[in-house]
Amino acid sequence: MSQIMELANEEEYERCSNYHKMVDGAEKALKSVLSFDQGQNILVVTDKEKQDIGQAFISGAKRLGGLKTDLYSISQHQRPLDKLPEGLKGIFKNYNVVVNAFHGDAKETPFRVELLYDEIAYDVRVAHAPGITKEMMYKGPMNVDYDEIVKDATSLMDKFNMAKEVHITTELGTDLVLDIQDRGFSTDVVIDKKSFGNLPAGEIWCAPTETKGHGKVVVDGSIGDIGMLDVPLTLIIKDGVLTGMECVNKERVEHLWNLVTIDDMASTIGELGIGLNPNARLVGNLLEDEKAGETAHIAFGNNMDMNNGANNSKTHRDFLFNKPSMVITYLDGTKKEIIRNGKVI
């Protein structure tokens, strides 16, 4: 039996509420972010929970003149997945674009990391969207002026040129210094071959030096695969490694420690990200939250796909905080504040 399958008759989805708006969002992202065009091939990796979203991407690709439009459901395998199923290995070479649109599960992070690296081994542009929702598809974050975000992202990345360190603070008590020398920033608003970005799009990020970060971060937003916090969480970082967590919710701390100690590099700094999508909302789903303006996030774990990244953990966990201020120290010793209380100066 072929592993590629149709999940339902397309006409059934067209009768669903907001389906056409979802297709509009998918079409816009495919064209602007993934450069999908007439005659190209697309594979959507989805599951039963997100099958309507998966079908919306297929419909959007057909509108754009897609030649080969296939769906692959990971629901045909036992969930949660801890590794890449045999049915997926090597099939990505047949496509120009791959979209991962399935239910997000913290236990499946190692599978998702392996999936991404298998996908970008080929000349494929990958949109990674675990946990994407219908509301994201037809509301703000997917229906945005991508050209404007590209301008904002390019301008902000230019401010980080020749940077040595960035000092990050918030009114809640964040006070963190990260070494970012020779760690260039990237953006997900334009995805090239052999690379991936999220949908919804709208952030810039880099891989800080894994052995030099120190200070603390007060997390008052959401955590990847966990959701929005009801009370702040303080992360203590020394020499790039997460060495402590402080929170009145002790069960939350214990659960997070299990997630960030899954291997030797899981607790080592992996990313600094800054949100720039003006239509993204704080909804408790990091896939959208981390794109929201006036937010930043750090992650621990894998960053091998980032510029000069050296963290090969099999996991990657993001922690978001609001209204950061950032001061850059450049290689020549000068300092410049580029973000104040979340707003780019």
Q: How confident is the model at residue 3 (pLDDT cuts 50, 70, 90)?
A: low
Round to whole Å and give the CA distance between 114 and 116.
Answer: 6
Say which amino acid occupies 230. Answer: D
Round to whole Å and give the CA distance between 213 and 238.
Answer: 6
Q: What is the pLDDT of residue 279?
A: 94
Round to whole Å and give the CA distance between 228 and 306.
Answer: 26
Query: What integer best gives the mean pLDDT of the chain?
Result: 93
Which DSSP state fits 331?
A: T
Q: What is the pLDDT of residue 5?
A: 58
Q: How many CB atoms are located within 10 Å of the residue 336 CB?
A: 12
Contact indicator for 102, 50 with CB cutoff of 8 Å: yes
Tokens of 282: 């704080």
Q: Determine the 3-state secondary structure of 271 from DSSP.
A: strand
Question: Does the CA dihedral 112-113-118-123 come out positive or negative?
Answer: positive
Q: What is the pLDDT of residue 144?
A: 87
Q: What is the pLDDT of residue 1?
A: 31
**Which stretch of 13-27, 49-63, 151-165, 288-302 has the lowest confidence by average pLDDT?**
13-27
Angle at which helix 146-159 crosses helix 19-32, to 10 degrees, equals: 40
**Which stretch of 137-141, 170-174, 290-294 has the lowest confidence by average pLDDT?**
137-141
Residue 2 has pLDDT above 50, yes or no: no
Distance between start and end Cα atoms, the chain = 57
Tokens of 276: 């720039």
Contact indicator for 44, 58 with CB cutoff of 8 Å: yes
Say which amino acid occupies 127. Answer: A
Condensed to tens digits (0 to 9), the pLDDT of residues 108-120 reads 999 999 999 999 9
Percent of the chain with pLDDT over 70: 95
Within 8 A by CB and 6+ apart from 132, the residues are 50, 53, 101, 199, 200, 287
Please report the domains of the chain, with CATH numbers, ordered by start residue.
10-142 (3.40.1830.10), 146-344 (no CATH)
Q: How confident is the model at residue 344 (pLDDT cuts 50, 70, 90)?
A: very high
Which single residue is written with the structure tokens 């239509």?
279
Closest CA relative to residue 99, chosen from 37, 49, 53, 39: 53
Residue 253 has pLDDT above 80, yes or no: yes
Contact indicator for 275, 288 with CB cutoff of 8 Å: no
Q: Enumerate the β-bridge partners of residue 295.
A: 322
Residue 19 has pLDDT above 70, yes or no: yes
Round to whole Å and give the CA distance between 125 and 72.
Answer: 17
Q: What is the pLDDT of residue 72?
A: 96
Q: What is the pLDDT of residue 106?
A: 85
